[in-house]
Each structure stands twice: as structure tokens, then as C-alpha cells.
Amino acid sequence: MITPQDACVQTEAVCKLAPIVPVLVIDDVTKARPLAEALVAGGLPALEVTLRTPVALEAITEMAKVEGGRVGAGTLLTPADVAAAKAAGATFGVSPGATDALLTACEAHDLPTLPGAATATEAMKLLERGYRVQKFFPAEASGGAPALKAIGAPIPQVSFCPTGGVSPKNAMDYLSLSNVLCAGGSWVAPKDLVAAGDWKAIEELAREAAALTA
């Protein structure tokens, strides 16, 4: 069983591996491992596989075999999701929001998790439970970098990984904030390049994203 405090230490370490955490929707499990290899080779070792497709759990298992990678499960919604993600080999979790039942399950299954918050109240509730590392979601729809900066002023104890609408055009707006550890982005693994198996192009996108610094 993991405590919220220990979970934060581990999720913070994951967030500090690279400025961008790829947010991945995997439709074809045969693409999972080479995709992970390309992203890791490009300098993005922390990978979030969203539980939005029938093969997502299999994809996590395949990606977990890639040396140097840290594979997590995104879109955790229920305790059952947490158990399945852990069994598949996920080493961290990400959720769009947070409920007591979900957080309790993450703690019970020893799965360090990045819980989602979009408002100061949500951030405060998570902080009260011990979660000082959170996901700001949906980032752009919730006011973008200006909103996250405003939340950080009265709640500097919390660090965030903004996700949702983050792109090469606005990534630095987030990464330059003192309360941002990294950002989640899907642009490093475009569906067309994944479908075509163009791993070199994806590796290059990953390398460009890995070079983003505040």
C-alpha cells in the first residue's frame, strides 16, 4: 500500500523525466512496442496509455517491456481500472479527475497516481489528502496557462502536469510556470504516423518535445 505522500514523490520523479509526457491512444497492439521504443529513443521515457480502447491494457504490457521507459495508465475512472492497469504492468496512473474511491484503490494497489483537478477547490481537496502533484485537466478548456498561474499564486504547494489542448504552440506557456513540472501532449504520436509505422518521424517529434525547456 502506498501513501499519498510517497505517491507524490514517485509521480514527481516521473514528471521530471522529460518536459512532455506523451498521451497515447492505442488502437493496434502491434504498434505499441515500436511506438514506445521510438518515443523513449527520442527522449520521452514517461508514457501515458489511455484506457480508451479495447487493446489499451495489452498495449501497456507490451510497452512495459521497453528498456528505459516508464509506462502509466491514463483515464483511470474506477477501482476496477486501477486493478487492471496495475496487473497490466503500469507503474503509475493518471486520472482526469479524482474520487475518494479511485484514490483509495490507487493507494491499495500501490499505484502512484496523478489525480486530475481543474479548479482551486479541487486542487485544495487533493492537497488536503496529501496529493501535492496533480494533473491540470482539461488545461486549455479550463483557462490555459493564465488560469494555472492564477491557481499557483495562492496554492504554491501544488505542482501540475497540464494536459488537454497542449501543443507545440503553447507548451512553453505552461512549462515556463513555476508550478508546472511537465505537460501531457498527444502531438508526438500522430495517428497517421503511428498507422504508417513511421517510427523515425515519431522519434524526431519526441526529440523536439524533449528539447523544450523553460
Question: What pLDDT does residue 15 have?
Answer: 98
Torsion-angle region of 43 (φ positive above 0: left; ψ -120 to 50: alpha; else: beta): left
| Active-site amino acid positions | 48, 135
Predicted confidence band of residue 214 (pLDDT cuts 50, 70, 90) = low
List of domains in the chain: 4-210 (3.20.20.70)
For range 170-184, the mean pLDDT? 98
C-alpha grid cell for residue 204? 524526431
Q: Side chain identity at 195, as an amino acid letter?
A: A
What are the tens digits of pLDDT across the range 121-176?
Answer: 999 999 999 999 999 999 999 999 999 999 999 999 999 999 999 999 999 999 99
Over the chain, what is the mean pLDDT?
97
Residue 109 pLDDT greater than 80, yes or no: yes
Question: What pLDDT does residue 213 have?
Answer: 82
Contact status, residue 160 vs residue 179, Cβ threshold 8 Å: yes
Residue the block writes with cell 503509475: 92
